[in-house]
């Protein structure tokens, strides 16, 4: 047996070359404790081992430029860790069984940011997605990578509050404007016919467009400030100058819009619906093969 820590020591198991290793070993001559390894495919790892498996904190560098720095459990990413992908995007958060799971923050290559819950590599649970190009934020529930359930789509001077389904608004909701009013209504899914020139197997894949149907407008009701109520000066008894307030001649909330009116928007080009999340380029979502480290022969 070669001396422990020898850089020239090449592991072999059942005639299979396991790469070079420099570091600590246990009594069974297994990689155990802190060590450095170079795998046969050119990847490198430096960190903790336990019984021949990456276990504990360590840094794995892929030959394609990707890198994972964090916790390991039996050769899999497990616990807290940061992953830098080949395209420059980055994930900081929790891992379970080699997959993004729990809470984490993903910085996409186009500048978008997602901060929230994950499950089996996709956005799942409560989270906030920031769209770099428009400055819009979605705050709400996600299911299997799509916006699903109650959420808020927040723009510069107004926001939409309501339910989402299959990554688009659908159902009864409202627009809340900074000027002090709310427009209530409903998003109705409208199927857009597909291209007649498409092949038969693609004819059933019609695109669904959410159409906003407005109903009425109301004022935003603000909770009164108790301190201001206490400071109100009551009119002196018999003071004729303090008359009874007269009702406003205009109906509360203003004129009721006609059915089908589009929700006001800061961007006239988007009157019918709030900005939808742009389709993420293929390079933004790392492929499984890029992220997961190759099976280390030392597992055998």
Beta strand ranges found along 158-206 (DSSP E) = 158-165, 168-169, 171-177, 181-192
The pTM score is 0.67
**Taking the C-alpha atoms of 222, 223, 229 and 232 in order, what is their torsion angle to the nearest 10 degrees?**
0
Residue 255 to residue 293: CA distance in whole angstroms: 61
Beta strand ranges found along the chain (DSSP E) = 10-13, 16-25, 31-38, 44-50, 53-61, 67-73, 76-84, 90-96, 99-107, 113-119, 122-130, 137-143, 146-154, 158-165, 168-169, 171-177, 181-192, 207-219
Beta bridge partners of 168: 165
Report, in this order, helix, strand and coil percent for the chain, each rounded to 5.
Answer: 5, 50, 45
Question: Domains of the chain (ranges plus CATH)?
Answer: 17-105 (2.20.110.10), 110-192 (2.20.110.10)
User: In a structure prediction context, what are the per-residue pLDDT tens digits for the chain, which is 300 residues long?
Assistant: 233 222 333 455 555 677 899 999 999 999 999 999 999 999 999 999 999 999 999 999 999 999 999 999 999 999 999 999 999 999 999 999 999 999 999 999 999 999 999 999 999 999 999 999 999 999 999 999 999 999 999 999 999 999 999 999 999 999 999 998 999 999 999 987 665 555 444 555 678 899 999 988 888 766 656 565 555 545 445 444 444 333 333 333 333 333 333 332 333 223 333 333 333 333 233 333 333 333 333 333
């Amino acid at each position: 047996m070669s001396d422990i820590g020898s850089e020239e020591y090449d592991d072999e198991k059942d005639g299979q070359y396991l790469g070079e290793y420099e570091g600590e070993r246990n009594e069974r001559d297994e990689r155990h404790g802190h060590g450095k390894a170079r795998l046969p495919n050119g990847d490198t790892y430096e960190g903790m081992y336990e019984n021949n498996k990456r276990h504990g904190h360590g840094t794995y560098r892929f030959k394609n430029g990707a890198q994972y720095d964090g916790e390991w459990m039996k050769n899999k990413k497990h616990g807290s860790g940061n992953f830098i992908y080949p395209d420059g995007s980055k994930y900081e958060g929790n891992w379970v069984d080699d997959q993004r799971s729990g809470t984490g923050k993903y910085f996409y290559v186009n500048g978008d940011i997602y901060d929230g819950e994950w499950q089996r590599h996709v956005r799942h649970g409560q989270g906030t997605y920031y769209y770099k190009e428009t400055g819009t934020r979605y705050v709400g529930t996600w299911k299997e990578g799509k916006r699903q359930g109650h959420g808020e789509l927040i723009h510069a001077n107004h926001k939409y509050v309501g339910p989402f389904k299959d990554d688009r608004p659908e159902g009864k909701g409202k627009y809340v404007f900074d000027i002090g009013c709310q427009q209530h209504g409903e998003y109705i899914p409208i199927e857009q016919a597909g291209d007649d020139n498409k092949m038969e197997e693609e004819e059933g894949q019609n695109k669904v467009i959410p159409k906003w149907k407005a109903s009425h407008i109301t004022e935003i009701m603000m909770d009164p400030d108790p301190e201001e109520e206490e400071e109100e000066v009551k009119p002196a008894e018999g003071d004729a100058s303090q008359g009874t307030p007269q009702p406003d001649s205009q109906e509360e909330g203003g004129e009721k819009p006609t059915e089908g009116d589009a929700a006001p928007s800061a961007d006239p080009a988007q009157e019918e619906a709030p900005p939808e999340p742009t389709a993420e380029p293929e390079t933004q979502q790392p492929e499984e093969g890029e992220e997961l480290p190759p099976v280390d022969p030392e597992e055998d």
